[in-house]
């Protein structure tokens, strides 16, 4: 099994995220992340749309340096939300590649069946645990 395609995608995603940030294309996210609940929701959504590491790179500039709760929500939210879908984390894609090389086809639906309740519970516990 080779992980080169996943690693290249990871690097491309970080470069693209940085370019998007530098161009100010994601400024519309600022009001969407102005409360702890919204920040956690946007983090979970972005973690599954663009993956968790790029989501952190995009959202980090929106958080004040001394806002410990928001930093914890961003950290925990991006990590835990990566379990929701196959696209939520590069690690999930690597697992799919490894499973495929062994002849098992892990589908988006199969992963979501487990990932959705797990992520919902974990994010709820995280939210109330941090705040």
Domain boundaries, the chain: 4-26+34-130
What the block records as the tokens of 121 is 């519970």
How many angstroms separate the CA atoms of 120 and 115, rounded?
Answer: 8
pLDDT at 106 over 60: yes
Q: Dump pLDDT digits (tens) for 66-85.
A: 999 999 999 999 999 989 99
Closest CA to 21 of 81, 62, 52: 62
CA 61 to chain centre: 16
49 vs 7: which has the higher pLDDT: 49
Q: Dump pLDDT digits (tens) for 12-41.
A: 777 877 787 788 777 777 788 889 999 999
pTM of the model: 0.77
């Amino acid at each position: 099994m080779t992980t080169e395609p996943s690693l290249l995608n990871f690097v491309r995603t970080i470069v693209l995220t940085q370019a998007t940030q530098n161009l100010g294309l994601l400024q519309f996210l600022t009001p969407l992340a102005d409360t702890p609940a919204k920040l956690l929701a946007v983090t979970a959504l972005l973690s599954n749309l663009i993956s968790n590491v790029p989501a952190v790179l995009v959202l980090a500039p929106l958080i004040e340096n001394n806002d410990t709760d928001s930093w914890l929500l961003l950290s925990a939210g991006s990590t835990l939300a990566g379990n929701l879908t196959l696209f939520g984390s590069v690690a999930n894609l690597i697992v799919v590649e490894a499973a495929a090389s062994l002849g098992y086809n892990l589908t988006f639906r199969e992963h979501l069946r487990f990932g959705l309740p797990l992520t919902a519970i974990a994010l709820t516990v995280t939210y109330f645990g941090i705040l």
